[in-house]
């Protein structure tokens, strides 16, 4: 079996990385001047497939440093973090030189199993002898509020399709794959900045060493979307509540995203008004319980969210609907993610400012941030007063 392109062509040096010149410069400066840095860690964030982990590996190779990698899924509590990460921070490099500690996929630190994990990591960061790089998709999650004070935050922006295209062309040349220029451009565009996904697609349709436009039609959506369509079929086509509830286990989407998929496609499947009313009543109940979970962290309500959005919607119809229904990708996911990310980022800054000014988050968000943005625009020293990272300060000036 051939090696996956994502591994075979993982960037080995910084020059191999496309489209992240600013982030590379920030990471390199942090690692090279670590002993004089006020922040004890650097948090790389960006969408899946943007190259966060690859950048950490490349910077270690470029500077001749040992890389000690720890994945959040392997150390999901305080004891595990102290044992694995704490030891790495204190021990000398195996080769007698310097090293970088990579704590990957920070988003995985969530739920009751991780109680005390982030607090333990924050405490360890303060005493680390070596530069610590952390990666996350969403650094503005409230669980990272304390950690953010001790790390520099660097964003890997979504890759332009031209950067993805350059990598695909390079791989095609090395693999002897012939391609239509139009087809390869379409493949790069459809990746949406996900280089890892684009390389997987390239390997899938490039097996015959020739890529043309027709090949993109056979590619279809990636596995995640295919499994989502199968999950929707379980909910919409059947009336067995147990099978409908299993839809949650059949997809990689999180609960919020699957709920939006079901909400988007219910009117396409249920054509009888009375069925549609009952279905949306269940969806509204699921949303009520989601709100209670967000507001009070009552995770025991999650079972009710799943029951209403799956079994409830499945049983809302009087009879099964025959025929094929073309399910549509929900258009709300991207806008929802952007809005949620913006709100989290704004709230994170407001929390920091509120702590310094002894005001509530709401007061800081509504009254202080607009003035602070103007002050920082005139003089960046005001960002240092509130211990805002360069990323936070730049965002505040642009968005407020």
CATH number of 20-155: 3.40.50.300
Q: How far is CA 250 from CA 103, 287, 289, 380, in A?
A: 29, 21, 22, 49
Distance CA 341, CA 5 (A): 31
What are 136's strand-pairing partners?
45
Distance CA 301, CA 297 (A): 9
Q: Which residues of 225-260 are buried (b: 16+ CB within 10 A; e: fewer)?
A: bebbbebbbbbbbbeeeebbbebbebbebebebbbb
Please state the domain extents for the chain: 20-155, 161-219, 223-330, 335-399
Is residue 303 classed exposed, middle or buried when 0-12, 13-18 and 19+ CB atoms within 10 A define those classes? exposed
What are 179's strand-pairing partners?
211
The SS3 of residue 44 is strand
Can you give the pLDDT of all 400 residues of the chain as single tens digits?
A: 467 888 888 888 888 888 888 999 999 999 999 888 888 899 999 877 788 989 999 999 999 998 888 877 677 677 778 877 777 777 776 666 788 999 888 877 754 444 677 888 888 888 888 899 999 888 888 888 888 888 999 988 888 888 889 999 999 999 898 988 888 888 888 877 788 878 878 887 777 777 776 767 655 544 444 467 778 888 998 888 887 887 776 665 678 888 888 998 999 999 999 999 999 999 999 999 988 888 887 888 888 999 999 999 999 999 888 777 777 776 665 566 566 667 778 888 888 888 888 888 888 888 899 889 899 888 888 888 887 877 788 888 887 7
Q: Are 183 and 219 within 8 A, CB to CB?
A: no
Q: Are 312 and 286 within 8 A, CB to CB?
A: yes
Fold topology of 161-219: Helicase, Ruva Protein; domain 3 (1.10.8)
Is residue 328 classed exposed, middle or buried when 0-12, 13-18 and 19+ CB atoms within 10 A define those classes? exposed
Q: What is the DSSP string of 118-179?
A: HHHHHHHHHH-SS-EEEEES-TTSGGGTTGGGGEEEEE-PPPPHHHHHHHHHHHHHHHT-EE
Nearest to 233 by CA among 269, 279, 267, 281: 269
Long-range contacts: 24-27, Cβ < 8 Å, 24+? 24/55, 24/59, 26/152, 26/154, 26/390, 27/55, 27/56, 27/59, 27/133, 27/154
The SS3 of residue 221 is coil
Q: Which residues of 149-163 are buried (b: 16+ CB within 10 A; e: fewer)?
A: ebbbbbbbeebebeb
Nearest to 169 by CA among 140, 208, 141, 195: 195
């Amino acid at each position: 079996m051939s090696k996956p392109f994502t591994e075979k062509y993982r960037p080995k040096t910084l020059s191999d990385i496309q489209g992240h010149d600013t982030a590379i410069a920030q990471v390199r400066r942090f690692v090279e001047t670590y002993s004089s840095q006020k922040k004890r860690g650097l948090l790389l964030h960006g969408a899946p497939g943007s190259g966060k982990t690859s950048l950490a590996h490349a910077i270690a190779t470029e500077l001749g440093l040992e890389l000690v990698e720890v994945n959040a899924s392997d150390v999901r509590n305080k004891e595990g973090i102290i044992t694995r990460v704490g030891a790495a921070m204190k021990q000398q490099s195996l080769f007698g030189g310097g090293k970088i500690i990579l704590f990957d996929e920070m988003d995985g630190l969530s739920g009751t199993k991780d109680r005390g994990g982030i607090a333990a990591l924050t405490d360890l960061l303060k005493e680390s002898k070596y530069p610590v790089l952390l990666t996350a998709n969403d650094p503005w999650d409230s669980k990272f509020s304390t950690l953010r004070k001790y790390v520099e935050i660097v964003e890997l922006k979504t890759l332009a399709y031209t950067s993805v295209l350059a990598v695909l062309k390079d791989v095609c040349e090395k693999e002897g794959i012939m391609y239509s220029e139009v087809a390869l451009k379409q493949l790069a565009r459809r990746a949406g900045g996900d280089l890892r996904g684009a390389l997987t697609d390239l390997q899938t349709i490039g097996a015959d060493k020739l890529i043309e436009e027709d090949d993109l039609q056979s590619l279809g959506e990636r596995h995640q979307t295919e499994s989502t369509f199968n999950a929707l079929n379980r909910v919409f086509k059947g009336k067995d509540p147990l099978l409908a509830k299993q839809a949650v286990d059949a997809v990689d989407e999180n609960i919020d995203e699957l709920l939006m998929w079901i909400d988007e496609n219910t009117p396409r499947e249920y054509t009888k008004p009375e069925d549609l009313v009952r279905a949306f009543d269940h969806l509204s109940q699921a949303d009520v319980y989601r709100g209670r979970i967000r507001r009070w962290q009552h995770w025991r309500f999650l079972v009710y969210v799943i029951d209403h959005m799956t079994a409830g919607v499945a049983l809302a119809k009087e009879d099964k609907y025959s025929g094929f229904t073309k399910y549509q990708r929900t258009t709300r996911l991207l806008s929802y993610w952007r809005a949620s990310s913006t709100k989290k980022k704004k709230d994170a800054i407001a929390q920091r400012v509120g702590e310094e000014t002894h005001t509530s988050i709401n007061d800081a968000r509504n009254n202080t941030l607009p003035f602070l943005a103007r002050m920082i625009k005139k003089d960046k020293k005001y960002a240092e007063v509130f211990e805002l990272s360069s990323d936070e300060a730049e965002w505040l000036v642009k968005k407020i």
